[in-house]
């Protein structure tokens, strides 16, 4: 994208707007003070020089400290040449003397841990603003390559990067300001983004219509076990509360116990093989509340009958170390422990790990977390930060499975349903107030769905969903 934009708009023009946006963001947030701009050798440093020029023009006392000279003849060299103000040594003493330090050392080009010298200077700084990202946060992964207290503001351009959204980098960026620097939309489209922020508009959820009936809204079926009825019930309740037309539990010999539960559920005691013949029941949840033996008795049958299957909890434990057993399911929703037992530890690059897991089993993989990562087998990834710590309570994952089941049953494509389910679940968590018990989420799922439908009508996917194209 940068390369194409450079050809069509001119990288110097983009750099000029980027530096101006940094200066503007600083002027909007800080009173005039002594500023030190730390500039690296690449275009991030070029942005820093432009910002320094605009701050100086506005009457601020500005100094620039250069880590290394910019490459001759490049845009950063031109930006450096146009700054005629005071230059000082790149040192911790100079950083400590400044009221505000602007970190324009490395941005998107950061590819290894910064040197001790760089880190000593940043650690000596009292208040920090980042150009694009803090110079030790990997923009593609959010990995943090060195330790340092958080920044107050990070000014990025065009679209936020995964590093602004994913932990742990997210905690260090401070307020993220995303500046429009006039990047032409054809350059953005040309980049064919594969990583998205999870927002309504990336997907759309079916709204209620006057002619709806329970089968058009969709049937969610769940496999139930003998010993952990709570998890199955929570998933069933999540499905009902998010708008499923009908929710049925296949409980076999435990049917009587389940019949004592919520009156709006249909409990089946017929053999699973018989239930699978019902063509109106295409979406099945398998795993919440199931032991490995119960999964063994059910999941292969569901897959063999070509149903749309969401596998969670017990089903993920059943396939630990052998994720290929899950081939044929449509969506899995592991937390980090389940993911690690299935595929191994994901390492620093969650996006890469989840994407490769999705490709490996041919299913959508939703890795649950403070920021959930949702990958499709075709490589698309959504990052869901629409969430609340209120969701970090036992049973919350069962509710999520139920919500996604509803959206699958409503006919949404698998990845869209997983993304939308994560957003609805997050919205319910945000609405549920402080320290809710998991059942309290259900009361907010209907309004969350209405909100998502409303927002999707107003936003288009193009408006704010692009993060960045990953390098090969
Ligand atoms: N997106 C947009 O539209 C626009 C983006 N813009 C801006 O461009 C920025 C990206 O610029 P960029 O590609 O030149 O990379 P940048 O981050 O300056 O660093 C590259 C240099 O750093 C070096 N280096 C890396 N890590 C290192 C380390 N640990 N320790 C030491 N050296 C290290 C690396 O050296 P090398 O690996 O070659 O030895 C190379 O020389 C982007 O963040 C944004 O601010 C705007 O100007 C315009 C519009
Ligand atoms: K930076």
According to DSSP, the β-strands at 153-157 and 219-223 are unpaired
pLDDT band at 334 (very low <50, low <70, confident <90, very high): very high
CATH superfamily of the 2-190 domain: YjeF N-terminal domain (3.40.50.10260)
CA pair distance 48, 37, nearest whole angstrom: 6
From atom 47 of ligand 1, which residue's Cα is the shortest distance away? Answer: 15
Pocket-testing residue among 80, 103, 106, ligand 1, by greatest number of atoms within 8 A of Cβ: 106
Pocket-testing residue among 5, 19, 41, 193, ligand 1, by greatest number of atoms within 8 A of Cβ: 41
106 Cα nearest atom in ligand 1: 17
Annotated binding site: 43-47, 103, 132, 135, 231, 289, 335, 368-372, 397-398
- Is residue 41 classed exposed, middle or buried when 0-12, 13-18 and 19+ CB atoms within 10 A define those classes? buried
For the chain, the structural domain boundaries read 2-190, 214-464
CATH superfamily of the 214-464 domain: Ribokinase (3.40.1190.20)
Structure-block tokens of residue 31? 């009173």
pLDDT in tens, 50-104: 999 999 999 999 999 999 999 999 999 999 999 999 999 999 999 999 999 999 9
- Is residue 242 classed exposed, middle or buried when 0-12, 13-18 and 19+ CB atoms within 10 A define those classes? buried
Contact 245, 413 (CB under 8 A): no
The yes-or-no verdict on residue 458 having pLDDT over 90 is no
Taking residue 463's Cβ as centre, other Cβ atoms within 10 Å add up to 10
Determine whether the shortest distance from the Cβ of 14 to ligand 1 is under 6 A. yes
Determine whether the shortest distance from the Cβ of 451 to ligand 1 is under 6 A. no
Find how far residue 9's CA is from the centre of its chain.
Answer: 30
Q: What is the CA radius of gyration of the chain?
A: 26
Mean pLDDT of the 350-369 span: 98
* Ligand in closest contact with the CA of 131: 2
Question: What pLDDT does 148 receive?
Answer: 79
The 3-state DSSP class for residue 177 equals strand
Mean pLDDT of the 361-376 span: 98
Determine whether the shortest distance from the Cβ of 137 to ligand 1 is under 6 A. no
Annotated binding site for K(+): 44, 103, 135
Determine whether the shortest distance from the Cβ of 471 to ligand 1 is under 6 A. no
CA pair distance 228, 204, nearest whole angstrom: 34
pLDDT band at 463 (very low <50, low <70, confident <90, very high): very low
From atom 40 of ligand 1, which residue's Cα is the shortest distance away? Answer: 42
Contact 107, 146 (CB under 8 A): no
């Amino acid at each position: 994208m940068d390369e194409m934009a450079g050809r069509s708009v001119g990288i110097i023009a983009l750099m000029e707007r980027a530096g101006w946006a940094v200066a503007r963001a600083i002027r909007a947030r800080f009173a005039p003070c002594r500023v030190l701009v730390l500039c690296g050798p690449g275009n991030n440093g070029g942005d820093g020089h432009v910002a320094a020029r605009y701050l100086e023009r506005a009457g601020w006392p500005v100094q620039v400290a250069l880590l290394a000279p910019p490459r001759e003849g490049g845009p950063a060299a031109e930006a450096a040449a146009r700054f005629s103000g005071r230059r000082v040594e790149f040192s911790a003493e100079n950083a400590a003397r400044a009221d505000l330090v602007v970190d324009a050392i490395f941005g998107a080009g950061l590819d290894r841990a910064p040197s001790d010298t760089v880190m000593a200077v940043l650690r000596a700084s009292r208040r920090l603003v980042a150009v694009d990202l803090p110079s030790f946060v990997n923009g593609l992964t959010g990995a943090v390559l060195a330790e340092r207290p958080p920044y107050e503001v990070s000014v990025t351009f065009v679209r936020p990067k995964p590093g602004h959204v994913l932990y742990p980098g997210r905690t260090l960026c401070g307020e993220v300001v995303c500046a429009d620097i006039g990047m032409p939309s054809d350059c953005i489209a040309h980049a064919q983004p594969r990583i998205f922020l999870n927002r309504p508009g990336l997907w759309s959820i079916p709204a209620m219509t006057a002619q709806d009936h329970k089968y058009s809204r969709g049937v969610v079926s769940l496999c139930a076990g003998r010993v952990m009825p709570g998890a199955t019930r929570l998933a069933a309740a999540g499905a009902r509360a998010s708008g499923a037309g009908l929710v049925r539990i296949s409980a076999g010999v435990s049917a009587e116990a389940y019949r004592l539960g919520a009156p709006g559920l249909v409990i089946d005691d017929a053999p699973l093989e018989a239930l699978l013949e019902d063509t109106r029941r295409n979406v099945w949840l398998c795993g919440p509340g199931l032991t490995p033996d119960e999964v063994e008795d059910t999941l292969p049958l569901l897959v063999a009958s070509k149903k749309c299957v969401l596998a969670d909890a017990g089903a993920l434990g059943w396939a630990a170390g052998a994720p290929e057993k899950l081939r044929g399911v449509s969506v899995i929703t592991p937390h980090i422990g389940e993911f690690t037992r299935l595929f191994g530890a994901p390492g620093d690059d969650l996006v890469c790990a989840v994407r490769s897991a999705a490709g490996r089993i041919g299913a959508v993989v939703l890795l649950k977390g403070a920021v959930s990562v949702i990958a499709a087998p075709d490589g698309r990834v959504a990052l869901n930060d629409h969430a609340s710590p209120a969701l970090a309570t036992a049973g919350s994952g069962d509710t999520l499975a139920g919500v996604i089941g509803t959206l699958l049953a409503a006919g949404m494509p698998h990845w869209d349903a997983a993304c939308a389910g994560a957003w609805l679940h997050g919205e319910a968590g945000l609405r549920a107030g402080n320290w809710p018990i998991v059942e309290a989420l259900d009361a907010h799922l209907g309004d969350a769905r209405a909100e998502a439908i409303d927002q999707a009508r107003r936003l288009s996917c193009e408006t704010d969903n692009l993060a960045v194209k990953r390098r090969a």
